[in-house]
Structure 1
């Protein structure tokens, strides 16, 4: 490594070790030394190595665009470090122009290695040359490693908020339905989810979920679902509460899936729970959607007669439909009136050992007479063997 202080000698010693097949320790050290030398000659060699990288896939890269393979990750880091050192140590000769050329002229290249590395280098230099306008086009790059790297760079530049909103507003407006554009929708969803820490993006997602076209609405809701925020923005809770009852079935399903992943405030959100119950009460909707809405809304503070009857019907459905166990669970968590509790007693003789324990909480705080009937029916219930002693 001391050769970097003597560029003439180091050129001959290191050039022969770069780009010779699979990355090795010697090649990585050589690349780092080349970067430290600060001579323009070696830059072409570094770039040519990066361009040997084929298109990456979602399986090849992590969420930030880096290789998942440890050896490739270390080798790429050496390349990035060489480019970084080359840029940092020779500003008079290089001045980032080669890196900028890579970014601007080779966006449509079939090889994404150089673009990803150039993005990382410019981001780490942090000298103002990397702007939102320069990075945003890379979000649509065909190489997953490049698009994810661009999203990672954008994610720690909150000052780019206005530019991001305009870009993604246009992207959401242009999103199309159909299987042909599914990959583009998934990529847009992933990018929005990663940027959801931004208040500007949070507001855009809320607006789109509340009033966007169905396809854009679903993309926004899925981004909300995948965001993984520690606290759910109040604007999401309010907008989704308002849109949920009027949305199309695909929009309602996406909203319910999103709500299921959100961290709810300690005090809950009464309007959102009411909207979920409204969705569940629509007899024209699919049973799976209705039941999922009730699961997310649970525990229910009250159950009307029609909804109670619907839940009881689902407990008697064919197990292969996937409704029975979930319906029993919703009933078990709900707060029921004494007459409603009594109406569930016949179910005790119909449920198996996997379902009966889930229904027992529905009889909590019941009257003495109800308790006596409960014990009597449990004695002959086929599912009683699934009940633990501490549940009685």
Structure 2
């Protein structure tokens, strides 16, 4: 599960586990592992399936076309899926089809198994299990699930499917070899084990069968597996017989057995197989050579690097060179410009994984502008492990941008390359200088300003302040807007005030700025001076009311959060409550914290009680907002919250009542509801490649959740939490608490998102504890904002996303 972070309908995947391979998703636990380049690819993507069981079907009882197929159980998608393996280069791809599917929302297949008679067992855990996705509190302990058996109706019963009636201890080696061809797959497997237990007595008879032309490939493979369990040179010698066969399937097995036993005597045969016509054999041969680990074989491996079949083959060659401990001298020779780009790429990757490898910025500089795309990308990948090279590469970047012939070629790579080294002072100085250079293309300056927003920076480099300030004063409006956006995303500490504040105040009154840019200016100013001018308040109120332009409400709310609003300014927010959906209403409520005027408190509670989306307001948020108001106002808040309490059973009844009365929905109208300013669903949720990333990806939500599940998530978002989107409470050492979803963690920083446009950056050293929260980031009460028809349309749209 979680091969990739949920995006664009992808999440879980089925992979071909290749020796030494490293697979996504990218996470801190992968640090320190030996890697051979980019993560290895998936055979097939499953979406948000929560795969919980995987089985290889051994029997032919369903038909020969099913033999060797994989079957996976998908807890979330209520199905068993069949995967036919299709050879694709040196790995596999799959042809996927649903095998068992249920429309019942309490069917949760947790495992799939093959019984001894070739029937399939499907384990369904029903509705009692509540710790998977979604983490629902409305679980059903009475729905216990079942174990189902799937069989082909035309098949007759198998007699003694597990071979229980066979007197195994009395069988001769010859009889055991015969049973390797038995139709009962469980008998086959036990025959392999019992044959291996015969030890040396089994070797000579097994060699005879291995060399016999009439014996099937399947039986010969079973013999090799039995020999792999027998220790000693004679068993290894017997396996080496199969390395001379013309049967590619048998070769793959023999290579694997020779490799796992580190059979040095098999090296000549394995080296010859590096040139085999079968791609799988080529990959398995180099894999076996790597396992054996003889350094003198490195040159032979590198000779075949020019003919890379695919990513799996490249991985095997690279990993083998690492395992045989190829010398730096050999690898640097292979890195020379005269070598094939593939050879150079493999050599560079191996060097990057060896300790004391001798690599430095000078080796990488020329490769970053290589004509071969794959070599250039790999150089960038290696450079990513060495941010300390930034100073040595600064002059390289500058020379490239001064060269008209190279500039266009590397422009698309420049942003990614600069982001790798953006924390290095020398690169920071160069970026600041480039912004001021008259010869620098505006496109490059735009790119630099984007890189300056890199979220890995803990503070703004002083070498950037003057150049960015001058861009705000400039006449080039696109650069002005970009510079303003960059400043608005910086974490400002106050030391930047002297340079940036005059430029921002100038920009606040200049003509030609878009509303979004003007709001970004106001927000940046409030970070230096929390007093919000009345003109800025007036403009931000108008922006909030303009529902025709997505994103303006979030920007206005950001200004008000950062500012210290006066009582009359907070009072001006009250009319907005009537027109605010659940997402924005909670943020408006929080702005009243710290105010104490009785009249303001009374007015606040009046609009709270009348606001259409008031059911979305969290009790803790409201109590926090009124804690400075007089006790009378606090009592009103507590009384109102008491009247709004709903227990779990009432939630069940409400859910069923709404579901029963919903009219038929329309998908197109539902899409409009999803994207509307009132619901703001697309602000937090992504469908395809469009939308926010605060909440779960909904690209394929219709295949994961039924109508009841979707309605429950809308009515009561705190009942179900999708994995990786569970709300957390982070408490700092000084007693402050922050609630939200952990967006990412690493580099000593935790990023917590509390809603659309509300992201917090917390230093791990400042954190005292992290604990789960029971309150969703998604506001409740959305149903109160929608008519029954709009709710039905929204559900129809979500169900159509499959």
Q: Confirm or deny a common fold (TM above 0.5).
A: yes
Asked if the contact 1:165–1:200 (Cα under 8 Å) also holds between the matched residues in 2, the reply is: yes
Give the direction of change, closer, same or farther, for the CA distance of 1:81–1:297 in structure 2 (3 Å limit): farther
Give the direction of change, closer, same or farther, for the CA distance of 1:275–1:366 in structure 2 (3 Å limit): farther
Cross-structure match for 2:435: 209
- 1:313 partnered with 2:535: no
Cα separation, 2, equivalents of 1:28 and 1:371: 73
Corresponding residue pairs, total:
354
Mapping of 1:1-392 within 5 angstroms? 12-20=268-276, 21-22=279-280, 24-30=283-289, 36-37=295-296, 43=299, 45-53=300-308, 73-79=315-321, 81=323, 85=326, 87=327, 96=330, 99-100=332-333, 102-106=335-339, 112-121=341-350, 124=354, 132-154=361-383, 163-174=392-403, 181=408, 184-211=410-437, 212-226=440-454, 228-237=456-465, 239-246=467-474, 248-259=476-487, 262-265=490-493, 269-270=496-497, 271-272=499-500, 275-276=503-504, 278-295=506-523, 301-363=530-592, 364-390=594-620, 391=622, 392=626
Shift of 1:157: 6.6
Please give the secondary structure, in 2, of the residue aligned with 1:285. coil
| Structure 2, gaps ≥5 residues long | 1-258, 627-802
Shift of 1:204: 0.6
Cα separation, 2, equivalents of 1:389 and 1:161: 50
1:239-274 Cα offsets, whole Å, 9 max, x none, are 434533437343344445545655554x56434466
Cα separation, 2, equivalents of 1:174 and 1:222: 22
Q: Which has the higher helix share?
A: 1
Cα separation, 1, equivalents of 2:579 and 2:591: 16
Cα separation, 2, equivalents of 1:244 and 1:260: 12
Asked if the contact 2:504–2:521 (Cα under 8 Å) also holds between the matched residues in 1, the reply is: yes
| Structure 1, gaps ≥5 residues long | 57-66, 89-94
Larger Rg computed on CA atoms: 2
Shift of 1:187: 0.7
Shift of 1:116: 1.5
Shift of 1:121: 4.8
Q: Which has the higher strand share?
A: 2
Shift of 1:168: 0.9
Asked if the contact 2:459–2:492 (Cα under 8 Å) also holds between the matched residues in 1, the reply is: yes
Give the direction of change, closer, same or farther, for the CA distance of 1:167–1:227 in structure 2 (3 Å limit): farther
Shift of 1:216: 2.0
Give the direction of change, closer, same or farther, for the CA distance of 1:114–1:295 in structure 2 (3 Å limit): farther
Cα separation, 1, equivalents of 2:366 and 2:344: 12
Give the direction of change, closer, same or farther, for the CA distance of 1:222–1:147 in structure 2 (3 Å limit): farther
Cα separation, 2, equivalents of 1:329 and 1:246: 26
| TM-score of the superposed pair, with normalisation by structure 2 | 0.38
Give the direction of change, closer, same or farther, for the CA distance of 1:374–1:170 in structure 2 (3 Å limit): same
Asked if the contact 2:286–2:316 (Cα under 8 Å) also holds between the matched residues in 1, the reply is: no
Q: Which of 311-320 and 73-82 deviates more?
A: 73-82
1:273-322 Cα offsets, whole Å, 9 max, x none, are 66456545544112233334445666560222322221111111124533
Cα separation, 1, equivalents of 2:573 and 2:417: 47
Asked if the contact 2:387–2:421 (Cα under 8 Å) also holds between the matched residues in 1, the reply is: no
Cross-structure match for 1:61: none
Asked if the contact 1:14–1:31 (Cα under 8 Å) also holds between the matched residues in 2, the reply is: no
Shift of 1:164: 1.9
Cα separation, 1, equivalents of 2:561 and 2:451: 32
Shift of 1:78: 1.3
Please give the secondary structure, in 2, of the residue aligned with 1:16. helix
Cα separation, 1, equivalents of 2:415 and 2:422: 10
Give the direction of change, closer, same or farther, for the CA distance of 1:15–1:381 in structure 2 (3 Å limit): closer
Asked if the contact 1:50–1:79 (Cα under 8 Å) also holds between the matched residues in 2, the reply is: no
Cα separation, 2, equivalents of 1:125 and 1:355: 53
